[in-house]
Chain A
């Protein structure tokens, strides 16, 4: 008898927080999959650090979401007892790790966005969010540095690393648009100064990634069709497998404390 999924009261702020928490958890989880398998030990350390940063952000955001929701849920109930259709993360972060180039390009695209996003969110009219943003921004700044340095080394390293990096850019490009989308559900929060409209940071994001991609002797992807759906629970097939693994113990032992 498995533990059933909880129902969450997705009022605007709760929904907003779940989206960002899910982004951080899923990406952190993906990075933790590298532990013990990275190309060199120094990178095992680095990826674990980034993963821990993201996990920490997720926990803060879930905890706040549970508090705002006020229905007795907590970080673990939210993370372990919502199913695929209830998860609200970007499609980008649930993509499989692939090779190291895919992992780094994914990290690069996301971190440049996250750093700009959290910096802007430090001015949120919600004090808790502003504080979370301030802490998260320092972490994202480091993630930007780390992934940018790898973009340079992969793009301007060997022919093989260049080809893999270019492939990764092509493969992941269509998932980048979703980061900048704003839907009706968040419009009210933006108007209240609680959240920002991510479209506002897209020009800067584009400039930063184009700059690094250029320095790395790589090319931007062609085509501008953008995938979306993650924000409303229309995920890729990858998320289901990820959640099966993540949630397995809690689902198997309903009500147990760990």
Chain B
């Protein structure tokens, strides 16, 4: 009989005020409380954390890597979304 598995969680940490939470790894825990405590013990021993999010791994929906072309390439040709596409005379000043 295979050993029962403990649920997997993804961990996101906000390291400084104003920054976004960043994914830093995953861990195993039976419930959210244990996951939060484990995340604190594993990922914030060197003062790396102000805020922790733990999310069950199976709650995450990911884009399919094989669809990279369809998902992301169309944006590459829409250069009019970038400020550098537009020419503003220097006399107008900074815009």
A residues with CB within 8 A of B: 40, 42, 45-46, 49, 145-146, 149
Q: How many Å from the CB of A154 to the closest CB on chain B? A: 13
In the complex, chain B residues whose CB is within 8 Å of the CB of A146: 37
Nearest 10 Cβ contacts at the A-B interface: A45-B41, A42-B38, A46-B41, A49-B41, A45-B42, A149-B33, A146-B37, A42-B27, A46-B37, A42-B29
A42 near B41: Cβ-Cβ < 8 Å: yes
B45 near A46: Cβ-Cβ < 8 Å: no
B residues with CB within 8 A of A: 27-29, 33-34, 37-38, 41-42, 45
- Contacts A/B (CB < 8 Å), 21 sampled: A40-B28, A42-B27, A42-B28, A42-B29, A42-B34, A42-B38, A42-B41, A42-B42, A45-B38, A45-B41, A45-B42, A46-B37, A46-B38, A46-B41, A49-B41, A49-B45, A145-B37, A146-B37, A149-B33, A149-B34, A149-B37
Q: How many Å from the CB of A91 to the closest CB on chain B? A: 29
Q: How far is the CA of A223 from the CA of B38 in the complex (A)?
A: 37
In the complex, chain A residues whose CB is within 8 Å of the CB of B41: 42, 45-46, 49
Residues of A contacting B: mostly: helix
Q: How far is the CA of A45 from the CA of B37 in the complex (A)?
A: 10
Output the residue of A40, A42, A46, A149 with the most chain B CB within 10 A: A42
Q: How many Å from the CB of A45 to the closest CB on chain B? A: 4
In the complex, chain B residues whose CB is within 8 Å of the CB of A149: 33-34, 37
In the complex, chain B residues whose CB is within 8 Å of the CB of A145: 37
Q: How many Å from the CB of B87 to the closest CB on chain A? A: 57
Q: How many Å from the CB of B78 to the closest CB on chain A? A: 46
Q: How far is the CA of A201 from the CA of B14 in the complex (A)?
A: 37
Residue in B closest to A42 when the chains form the complex, CB atoms: B38
Q: How many Å from the CB of A41 to the closest CB on chain B? A: 8
Q: How many Å from the CB of B13 to the closest CB on chain A? A: 15
Q: How far is the CA of A42 from the CA of B29 in the complex (A)?
A: 8
Q: How many Å from the CB of B44 to the closest CB on chain A? A: 10
Q: How far is the CA of A146 from the CA of B33 in the complex (A)?
A: 10
Q: How far is the CA of A146 from the CA of B29 in the complex (A)?
A: 14
Q: How many Å from the CB of A153 to the closest CB on chain B? A: 8
Q: How many Å from the CB of B24 to the closest CB on chain A? A: 15
Residue in A closest to B28 when the chains form the complex, CB atoms: A42
Output the residue of A45, A145, A146, A149 with the most chain B CB within 10 A: A45
Q: How far is the CA of A209 from the CA of B67 in the complex (A)?
A: 55
